[in-house]
Amino acid sequence: MKRALYQIDAFTSTMFGGNPAAVCPLDEWLDDATLLAIAAENNLSETAYIIDRGAHHDLRWFTPTTEVALCGHATLASAHLIMTVLDRDRTSVSFLTRQSGVLTVEREDDWLWMDLPAAPATPCAAAATVEQALGQTPAARLAASRDYLAVLANEDDVRALHPHRAALMALDRDGLIVTAPGQSADFVSRFFAPRLGVFEDPVTGSAHCTLVPYWAERLGRDELSAVQISGRGGELRCAALGERVKMAGRCVLYLEGTIHV
């Protein structure tokens, strides 16, 4: 059985930047073991599977080790594929997901705006594993439904961070978001999730569902600019909308091929 497969760099306007995602259009769902095996073979932080249902597309996301409830960059990549390759007349797309409801993406020039659920964080008591993972005491420590959020003093501290894998694996949440005020953007971040099979994710839309509410409240503004300062790096435009978060990025198609399963 042959299936088309595309690899798209998301949250970047430059090839080899941002976060690469594989997107595989299907006619109907394959069994979960096959979906996971394809994602493991791709060995990217996320592989997205989409099915065109007419009024909407079904969407699921897999890391190399597990299915996840929400992935921003692979959603952005999927929308880019639909609106620039599969159906070029479209200027918006609606995705029906299993755990995150309906997600919409709209095109504005070369930017794609996603509407995602907010996942605000609240201050939490001292967690030794967070400090062990960081190798330092953060200025603030918060917890969201999926991840911990650690706030450092400045961008240089975030860049210099070398977290400890074993301590990250011992966290009782999926990942650790690390953030600070930015030099060329309102804030910067990095994201670590080895429990999900991804030690450091290059650019993480779902982490910004937590970051945007935090920085909107701290800075007193609803519209923000962000840069994720991983090795590949990526830039986002963000807006806080109460229970929702909007974020925009650009995408570049890198690879178009065929898989045999």
The partner residues of 59 in beta bridges, in order of sequence, read 50, 97
Residue 207, phi then psi, degrees to nearest 5: -65, -30
Catalytic one of 28, 46, 67, 108: 46
Has 46 been annotated as catalytic?
yes
Which DSSP string do the residues of 82-139 spell out, in sequence order? IIIII-TT-SEEEEEESSS-EEEEEEETTEEEEEEE----EE----HHHHHHHTS--S
How far from 18 is each of 27, 201, 233, CA to CA, in Å?
A: 29, 10, 5
Q: Which position has the token pair 């200027």?
A: 91
The partner residues of 12 in beta bridges, in order of sequence, read none
Task: Give the number of other CB atoms < 10 A from CB of residue 146.
Answer: 20
Which tokens belong to 2?
Answer: 């042959």
How many Å apart are CA 194 and CA 45, to the nearest integer?
10
SS3 call for 40: helix
Task: For strands 46-52 and 19-26, give the pairing.
Answer: parallel
Catalytic residues: 46
